[in-house]
Chains A and B, each alone.
Chain A
Amino acid sequence: MLEEILITARHNPKVDPILGIWTWEISVYLFLGGLTAGIIIFVALMNLLEKNDSHSFSANRLALWAPVVLSVGMTTLFLDLEHKLYVFRFYTTLEPTSPMSWGAWVLMIIYPVSLLQIFSTFRKGYPMLSGFFERIPFASMLVDLSERNIKVISWIAIPSAVALGIYTGVLLSAFNARPFWNTGLLGPLFLVSGMSTAAAFIVLFAKDHSEKRTFTRFDLGLIAVEIVLIMLWLINLATGSEQQLQALEYLTQGGGYAVAFWGGFFLLGLLVPLFVEFIDLLHGNRTLAILGPVLVLLGGYTLRHITINLGQETTWQEYDSSYSVEALERVNKYYDSGLN
């Protein structure tokens, strides 16, 4: 037998016994980042295809959601930082080898882009609001300008949004130290998943029936692609390093994440909505039309959540400590106590 244990107590918060540095804040951030990317892409597409009349929600009203959704995500990201006062440090440098650094800058591009998308669709989407807005000097000029360049804006929006979507995955896949994340497929997967959640979002909130149907079709396609990518990801792990094989065990039966992943995400988040949305396309059923997209959105979050948690559990080496954690926790109580 091989017994490999820590014989000097080690109980480092967020690291022992298993890595737990990132929790819901990051999952939410990645989820909303992907959703934002999807939203911006669809807004751009619809405007390039000039669907402003037939698909008025996605073409005209949707743009406003991007910065809102993204800002919520940015907030949870900020909540995760342990040294908050120094958040500005993201923007005093560009670290070429760090996806996170690139991501920070991509986010800085996304905001202006999505603002321009809003301006260029403001009058059509929110006549009243834009009315008020244009009382501000130069505002109407800005709106005119963006409306006139809407195609250019869309052509800029798409690549930056794709970058954002892919980044939410690459951020993780860059960690060679976390076998479960360490695969090139995470980028595309999170992009597609992001677009799928955006499509679902539209299906939920679009009024126009034909628009709903278009995006349900989109979504079906995206879910299909997503399933393929996930399969590739797992095959990739199965054929990967020893550590990646161990990582995979979390998903195979008996593994700690098997139920969550296959039941919670794969079945309820992909297969069921695939089926439901398909039925809805054939027979048009009100409840299904809501159920499908809701499941897709939940599935989208579940995917991030599982990826974040499971990824941190997978590591190159695992030591068992020969001492109990409870015992060590006495130290902090002892030091916090008044006496000295």
Chain B
Amino acid sequence: MTIKYAMVIDTLTCIGCGDCVVACKTENKTPVGLNRDWVVEATRGTWPDLRTEFRSERCNHCSNATCVTLCPTGASHYWRDSNIVLVEANKCTGCKACIAACPYDARLIMHPDGYIDKCTFCHHRVEKGLDPACVSTCPTQCMYFGILNDPGSKVSQLLRTRNYKVLMKETGNEPNVYYLT
């Protein structure tokens, strides 16, 4: 894996507006009622001393993606030489092993046609040097996308200079969506 793409989301400026979800829905023409990303609101404490965090979540494009390792047909695969996890519809049997295999329940979309549809990190845009649709639409600009193994990239800088977390490190999947805290 020579390219490691990462998404970095600043929970300090994310407002939970869900624009990222609508942007994905329209950009990627996701099936009716199905979304590739979603927004979580986490509130701690009791009135009136409270902390609320907003998080835009999606597939973590794990470096160690259990959905890929457990797919019996190779339909779930890494895109080119990167950590972007894609599903090739015409190899997919719809056995749903990958759904069960994702500790983040991010393998979300059972496409009506029977194959698995998921967040692609908008590789069709990345290829053109564009940010993913959700990132380029986010009104607060709290989302960043880039290459982690390029020390000069904005995402690398952010992870060097800011506190961050990933969702459930313990899964061992090595997720590549980072949350600045």
Do A's and B's CB atoms come within 8 Å in the complex? yes
User: Measuring CB to CB, which residues of chain A are less than 8 angstroms from any residue of chain B?
Assistant: 1-8, 10-15, 19, 21-22, 80-84, 86-87, 89-90, 92-93, 95, 97-101, 103-104, 174-178, 241, 312, 315-317, 319, 328, 331-332, 335
Q: Are B73 and A81 in contact (CB under 8 A)?
A: no
Q: Are A177 and B109 in contact (CB under 8 A)?
A: no
User: Which of B35, B41, B92, B109 is in CB contact (< 8 Å) with A83?
Assistant: B92
Measured CB to CB, the nearest residue on chain B to A101 is B72
Dominant secondary structure of chain A at its interface with chain B:
loop
User: Which of A97, A312, A319 is in CB contact (< 8 Å) with B69?
Assistant: A97
Q: Report Cα–Cα, A4/B92, bound state, in Å.
A: 33
With most chain B CB atoms within 10 A of its CB, the pick from A86, A175, A177 is A177
B76-119 interface with A by 8 A CB criterion: 89-97, 99-105, 107-110, 113-115
Known: A98-B71, A176-B172. A15 touches B39 (CB 8 A): no
Chain B residues within 8 Å of A315, by CB: 103, 105
Chain B residues within 8 Å of A81, by CB: 93-95, 114
Interface window among B5-13, B121-129, B142-150, B163-171: B163-171
Q: Are A8 and B38 in contact (CB under 8 A)?
A: yes
Q: Report Cα–Cα, A101/B44, bound state, in Å.
A: 44
Q: Report Cα–Cα, A101/B161, bound state, in Å.
A: 44
Q: Smallest CB–CB gap between B67 and chain A, Å?
A: 9
Q: Are B73 and A89 in contact (CB under 8 A)?
A: yes
Known: A7-B16, A12-B110. A98 touches B66 (CB 8 A): no
Known: A7-B18, A12-B109. A86 touches B70 (CB 8 A): no
Q: Smallest CB–CB gap between B15 and chain A, Å?
A: 11
B158 within 8 A of A: no
Q: Report Cα–Cα, A84/B168, bound state, in Å.
A: 34
Chain B residues within 8 Å of A331, by CB: 32-33
Measured CB to CB, the nearest residue on chain B to A87 is B93
Chain A residues within 8 Å of B66, by CB: 175-177
Chain A residues within 8 Å of B108, by CB: 10, 12, 15
